[in-house]
Amino acid sequence: MISNPTPQRALRGHMPQRPTPRAATTGEHHAQLAGRLTLRDRWLARMLHEHKVFTTQQIVELCYPTMRAANHRLLNLFKWRVVDRFQPFVSSGTAPMHYVLDIAGSVALAYEDGLDPKQLGYRHEDAIGIAHSLRLAHTVGVNGVFTSLVALSRRPGARGRLTAWWSELRCGRLFGDMVRPDAYGRWREDGHQIEFFLEFDFGTEDLGKLARKLHGYEKLAIATGITTPVLVWLPTNRRETNVLTALADALSQLDRPALVPVATSAADVAGVAGEDNPAVARWLPISGPASRRPGRLRLVELARFWPHVAPPTAVQSSTSAQAQQAPADLAAPDPHPPPLPTSHFRKVTP
């Protein structure tokens, strides 16, 4: 007979203690954070402000060496209300933890840039509300394409590097009167560089609506004088086949189709080394020289396939973006984390 049973409450792990929303904005709390937040912590907060939400795996791809190291640091950031987290419901198995920016993180970013926190327009209800958004999977999918490129860039001996990454919200502020891409990126490899807009499709968008976006990209190219390729990421090869026809028809109706280079790829492309690797030979150009049928190309090879596409320099792109962004808008963060500090102590060998 068990005379002293263990209470049920003792069988559960306790929730980490966190300051209240009011306490997380006080000077006392931020004085404590000043000695705790590293450069990488502050950079991650900026990335969450820009791109809304990351899964734990995506954060590992961005800036941590292992899942264990990421979970250990993210727990502290969660306790300090720099980030918040949630797990969406899935019908089978367990969804990964998703992270968003929290109150203390947004206030720290504002003060770091000399802004009033109210100018950022941050609301915790909106940040954590993405947990219920019907676009959550879409946002995570778009971010996954770019975190994969960052992970490739961080590998030892990497030949390629993601040099720019703008969110859908930033693209909407800059180009929304003509087109609203899901993201903008710039990839450099082997001395070549290509910038692109990403259209991420889950197979639910109407084909006609997707094809009509090409008219907006043509208007944007004419207005800016910059020809920027459009990359369409699709869920299946079957969906890609249908989209190819719709996009080819839309291109034929443009006045200047050369201004809208388009390539597609599917998540299940056969024979691709690394399903989620956006840099490998998986992109199928729709537009280009009629005499050339190259098949699927690597991301950097698209720059050579479209020789008339001359992307602006990083300085020109950043200057143009800063000229158009709102006064209280934070600049787009570097897609790569700041380097870890080196130790001042050297190991003495006998």
Contacts of 60 (CB under 8 A, 6+ apart): 66, 67, 70
Task: Count CB neighbours of 117 within 10 A.
Answer: 15
Average pLDDT, the chain: 87
Q: Is 294 exposed, middle or buried (0-12, 13-18, 19+ CB in 10 A)?
A: middle
Average pLDDT estimate for 117-142: 94
What is the model's pTM? 0.88
Percent of the chain predicted with pLDDT > 90: 71
Cross-strand bridge partners of residue 263: 231, 285
Q: What are phi and psi of 45, to 5 degrees?
A: -60, -40
C-alpha triplet 283, 285, 291: angle, nearest 5°: 135
Q: Is the pLDDT of residue 340 over 60?
A: yes
* pLDDT at site 330: 86
* pLDDT at site 271: 66
* pLDDT at site 342: 63
Average pLDDT estimate for 132-143: 96
- CA dist., res. 141 & res. 96, Å (int): 13
Q: Is the pLDDT of residue 202 over 70?
A: yes
pLDDT digits (tens, 9 = 90+) for 270-323: 766 556 789 999 999 997 555 466 789 999 999 889 877 875 554 445 434 443
Q: CATH 1.10.10.10 occupies which residues in the chain?
A: 17-132
* pLDDT at site 329: 76
**Would you list the DSSP string of 97-145?**
PEEEE-HHHHHHHHHHTT--GGGGT--HHHHHHGGG-TTHHHHHHHHHH
Q: Tell me the two tokens of residue 2.
A: 């068990």
pLDDT digits (tens, 9 = 90+) for 228-237: 999 999 999 9
In CATH, 17-132 is 3.40.30.120: no
**232 vs 346, which has greater pLDDT?**
232
pLDDT digits (tens, 9 = 90+) for 41-51: 999 999 999 99
* pLDDT at site 288: 57
